[in-house]
Amino acid sequence: MKLKSIIGGAALALAFISSAHADVTVNITGATAFQKATLESIKARFLAEPIETRTFKFAHDKAAGGFNGSKRSIFIGKFPGVDGTTTIKCCFTGSVEGIRALVPVTDPLPPTYLPSSVLGATTATAAGAELPDITSGQVAEASDIAFSDVTKSSTPYGAYPLQPTTPAAGVIVFTMIASEGAPTSLTNITAQQFRALLSSGFQPLRLFTGVAGDTQKVFVTGRNDGSGTRTTYLAETGYGITKTVSQYVTNVSTATELTTIQLVPAGGVNDPVLPGQSTSNASTVWGQDVDGNGGYDSGTTLKNDLGKTGTSVTVLDEFGDDAFGAPQNLLLVTWLSLNDAVTARQNGAKILGYNGVILTDIAGTPGQPANTTMSATDKAKITEGAYTAWGYENMYRLNSITSGDKVTVYDAIKNNLVLSTAGIALTDMHVGRAVDGGVVAP
């Protein structure tokens, strides 16, 4: 055999070995409403590696033990089916923002992820070594995978090809919810009532209770348009995905009380001196950055604000002026993922019915403890079609990712989702819908 052939064969063999054991990094972004399920599913996959080879470590921006509520996290270790070291980074920015991160648009900048270096000195363990409270050192990087509460056809990016053609991974459940202090007479909100709120910003309580003496004001709050949660409630209630809204966000509050709320000004900021205002509250994706059309960029802040009373609240208009001339005794109403709603309920908020149907065991009844996961009775209301406040949780990846380790990671997560409170497996559903907010039927 010629020396040239031997060298060439050796080089090919080395290339094969190197390729077979190559390390891989997968960046995941998208739905904040699904972040708990995503993170728990990723951790479960690392734990699924046989004990004799299982080693991984992870860092995140929450306190110890709170990784499943983190906006940014990073996992490094041995992942089933991947020969080399697998790094998975997460940055949850919202469903619509997540889809945007996978398509060739230049604005805004990519999501910012934690760098691998934050775990450099940490030793991996079979159970997973945890490094909490990491909030600095973020770097903008391209994304590979995005979770979305809505399909890409419900966003401005429907024309861009993404993988796969059938992205649905499960069902994510939502609920109407009111802030702490909601009276016993407020139990339900219909799609028509919610449309009235979205259009005007607030309505008298009597619209929802039918009691003439209920004059307390109910204000609508919610997410900005980079959110799949928002897209879902605009679609499901028939309001219209691209129609502008009149939403309020908390401007000033204490740990237990709302102090000031404001109609979200264009740009998300009216007066930088006022605390609570942020450009992250602005409308971002439909070219509709107008007064009222913004909202919270995360369900975390929103659910925390719902666990506060609003007995003496200054209401500001889009210019920062007092809209009523005196403090108001008010309620906030919105639509949250069931996972966020349970946390808000535990802090004092009240889960409501939607179109006359309520998830009774999740909502709880006076004097009785409420469930933190869906009971069989509550679940049946969704799987059989009585309760329609839900959407498909979709898992997209870059159109260019068609094979290799990144597909292995994608498939492992999608096929083994840890849903808990977040939702329902597709195989359990006896009804479906063709589009976001579409008719639910067997």
Question: Do the domain assignments include residue 312?
Answer: yes
Domain annotation covers residue 387 = no
Question: Is 205 inside any structural domain?
Answer: yes
* Mean predicted confidence (pLDDT) in 105-122: 89
Give the residue from 296, 331, 356 where a domain finishes. Answer: 356
| Omega prior to 164 cis, within 30 of 0 | yes
**pLDDT band of 253, cuts 50, 70, 90:** confident
Cα–Cα dist 56/75, whole Å: 7
What residues make up the domain containing 74? 17-170+394-428
With tokens 């990784």, the residue in question is 67
Residues 329 and 200 in one domain: yes
What is each CA distance from 35 to 82, 92, 160, 290, 321, in whole angstroms?
23, 7, 24, 29, 36
Domain boundary among the residues 310, 337, 356 is at 356
Rounded Cα distance, 207 and 186, in Å: 10
Nearest CA to 162 out of 182, 146, 173, 150 is that of 146
Is residue 109 domain-shared with residue 190, that is, in the same domain? no
Do 220 and 152 sit in the same domain of this protein? no
The pTM for the full model equals 0.91
- State how many domains the chain has: 2
248 and 351 share one domain: yes
Asked if the structure places residue 369 within a domain, the reply is no
pLDDT, one tens digit per residue, over 333-392 is 999 999 999 999 999 999 999 999 999 999 997 666 788 999 999 999 999 999 999 999
- Do the domain assignments include residue 340? yes
Q: For 260-275, how does the pLDDT look when each residue is reduced to its tens digit (9 = 90+)?
A: 999 999 988 765 555 5
In this structure, are 82 and 213 located in the same domain? Answer: no
Do 28 and 132 share a domain, yes or no?
A: yes
- Whether residue 10 is contained in a domain is answered as no
Same domain, 265 and 226: yes
Judge whether 382 lies within some domain.
no
Q: Are 90 and 230 in a shared domain? A: no
Beta carbons within 10 angstroms of residue 273's beta carbon: 7
Distance, in Å, from the CA atom of 170 to the CA atom of 427, rounded to the nearest integer, reads: 9
Find out whether 410 and 81 touch, Cβ atoms under 8 Å.
Answer: no
Q: Check residue 277 and give its pLDDT.
A: 64
Q: How many residues does the chain have?
A: 442
Instruction: Say whether both 281 and 352 belong to one domain.
Output: yes
The pLDDT > 70 percentage for the chain reads 92
Asked whether residue 368 is domain-assigned, the answer is no
Residue 97 and residue 202 in one domain: no
**Residue 244 scores a pLDDT above 90:** yes
Task: Please check whether residues 131 and 184 belong to one and the same domain.
Answer: no
- Same domain (yes/no): 202, 336: yes
